[in-house]
A and B are shown apart, each in its own frame.
Chain A
Amino acid sequence: MTGVTILGAGVAGLCVAHELTTRGASVRLIDPQGGLTGCSRYAGGMLAPFCEGETAVTEVVTLGQGAADWWAAAGVQVERRGTLVVALGRDQRELVRFGRRVPQHRALSAPEISELEPALADRFQKALFIQDEAHLDPRKALSVLRDGLARRGVSIVTDGPISGQLIDCRGLAAREDLLKLRGVRGEMVILRAPDVTLHRPIRMLHPRHPIYIVPRGEGLYMLGATQIESGDQGPARLRGIAELLNAAYALHPAFAEAEVLEIGADARPAFPDNMPRVVKAPDRIHVNGLFRHGFLMAPALAQEAATLVLNSRKPEHIE
């Protein structure tokens, strides 16, 4: 058994721990906050490599395609229902642009939209459907990984000695070691809207305030997310939340009656190319810079890090 210490029990740390223990390694998982905190809590949970390809580098599209299977194999409930992309009347050109950048889409007519999402019947004349995408509930997913680790005898400790190889998954807290790492602020809202039934993530394009709504079941919806070049991890600002709520209301007026259950804000760790990666340092391996691709990219990075630790073989996406 190889001994590995993992710092940080957000989505990166938990995925690395799960991957390593699956491969038979012995793991210590240290998180001063006890884990399941930090920006992973505020993620949308969309496993949408093709949609992310609108702006992300090709590696995100390629590596992200394995995420849904990885999470399902880890025992997490993964909804494979694709992504629906829409735009309001005057923003139709955004749909054209998005379609050019995301060739994996299928263009839907109004009847096809209402067949997929009856709640949106008559609200949109055109939409793009990306079939091979999925979503999950990030908080449930993290709990599933934590509980699975506990069954394997690994519990998250808040402090303790570092033994064996070190994998640093601390996100922004690792900034003193990763000088190019920066924070990109995001704000999100959790709504309960039992009057609205949506079955899959809906992305609503807008030149200034693109949003997405992810169903979490039982009338719950996650509404996200702003993206601001700032490392500020403080409370949400009115402007960002107003934009998100207005957009939700524009998507479907029934969201007006939604209960606002939670407003969240944090900063995502990101490298200058916004590409998540494994970085080999003299005394540790970093898994960091997950940006807005945490649940999409953590599985692939966990596999790379595990391979690096266990086989000392250099995978492709390391620098």
Chain B
Amino acid sequence: MPVFYETEIASPLMLGTALYPSPDVLADAFRRSGAGVATVSLRRESAGGGDFWELIRELDIPVLPNTAGCHSVREAVTTAHMAREVFDTDWIKLEVIGHADTLQPDPFGLVEAARILSEDGFRVFPYTTEDGVLAGKLLDAGCEVLMPWGAPIGTGRGLMNPYGLRTLRAQFPEVPMVVDAGLGLPSHAAQVMEMGFDAVLLNTAVAQAGDPAAMAEGFALALRAGKLAYDADPMEPRDMAQPSTPLMGLAVLE
């Protein structure tokens, strides 16, 4: 199972806690999928979110607070500090949003915030693009995990740039990587694991499904399938058909 900052988690499924029809449905989705990490946003619930946070703690799995909705380094750093107090964890999923419409990461602000937070003792999980140069700068800034996007947040489109993600995976083979955002179907998650990534993080695809708990379980199964396939050393695709049963010795019928 994936190890982030010396902590092994129980499943490669990291599940967000927003947008569910109710807290009961949320808890069901976590139970049925056995998700390994719960991510939670602090920005909007900053005042009076106590009841909801208590509910997240009751899930009894590691919590990864995020800085969703932060558009500047300062906002993200402040939110991270608040998260550390509320959830008593030095883990932080760092989002510095560069564009309000696409929710695309701001790579410059991200590196700066990652450096400030890492120096301050945080274990940073940066939400980034598949850009390898940017990934290098984040590692230099102190990050030991990377979270490249699959597609823009909430789009459910699956992997927009599989080539870029494959290159990133190959460029930093030792760094734990989570594909975060843009997944819509379990097959997308299986693809991520088949490519050798360590985990996925998703929210909308589960929370806004008609039956969130069933969809969460679907993702968990797909992740397991993809991981098994990756570890099993899959065959290489070939150009020519090759019969798996030898033709020699077949009876020749009139």
Enumerate chain A interface residues (CB-CB to B < 8 A). 55-57, 97, 100-101, 182-183, 185, 207-208, 228-234, 239, 267, 270, 272-275
For the complex of A and B, list the 7 residue pairs with the smallest distance between their C-beta atoms, beginning with the closest. Answer: A232-B48, A182-B51, A229-B52, A274-B22, A273-B24, A55-B21, A230-B48
**Chain B interface main SS type:** loop
Query: Which of A56, A182, A231, A233 contacts B21 (CB under 8 A)?
Result: A56
A232 in contact with B47 given A56-B21, A272-B22, A274-B21 (CB within 8 Å): yes
Asked if B22 and A185 sit within 8 Å, CB to CB, the answer is no
**12 A-B contacts (beta carbon < 8 Å):** A57-B22, A182-B23, A183-B48, A185-B48, A207-B204, A228-B45, A230-B48, A232-B48, A232-B49, A234-B48, A274-B21, A274-B22
Query: Which of B23, B27, B44 contacts A230 (CB under 8 A)?
Result: B44
Asked if B23 and A272 sit within 8 Å, CB to CB, the answer is yes
A208 contacts across to B, CB distance below 8 A: 154
B55-89 residues at the A interface, CB under 8 angstroms: 55
Asked if A234 and B47 sit within 8 Å, CB to CB, the answer is yes
State in angstroms the CA–CA spacing of A131 and B47 once bound together.
Answer: 39
A231 in contact with B210 given A56-B21, A272-B22 (CB within 8 Å): no
State in angstroms the CA–CA spacing of A207 and B27 once bound together.
Answer: 22
Does chain A have a CB within 8 A of B173?
no
Chain B: interface residue total (CB-CB under 8 A): 20
Closest-CB distance, A245 to chain B (whole angstroms) = 15
Asked if A228 and B51 sit within 8 Å, CB to CB, the answer is no
B154 contacts across to A, CB distance below 8 A: 207-208
Closest-CB distance, B140 to chain A (whole angstroms) = 33
A183 in contact with B24 given A101-B210, A228-B44, A228-B45 (CB within 8 Å): no
Q: What 1/0 mask marks residues of chain B from 177 to 212 whose CB sits below 8 Å from any chain A CB?
A: 000000000000000000000000000100010100
State in angstroms the CA–CA spacing of A273 and B46 once bound together.
Answer: 23
Q: What 1/0 mask marks residues of chain B from 20 to 56 whose CB sits below 8 Å from any chain A CB?
A: 0111110100000000000000001111111110010
B45 contacts across to A, CB distance below 8 A: 228-230
State in angstroms the CA–CA spacing of A35 and B23 once bound together.
Answer: 30
B21 contacts across to A, CB distance below 8 A: 55-56, 274
Asked if A239 and B44 sit within 8 Å, CB to CB, the answer is yes
Query: Which of A100, A231, A234, A274 contacts B51 (CB under 8 A)?
Result: A231
State in angstroms the CA–CA spacing of A185 and B210 once bound together.
Answer: 24
A56 contacts across to B, CB distance below 8 A: 21
B24 contacts across to A, CB distance below 8 A: 272-274
A233 contacts across to B, CB distance below 8 A: 48
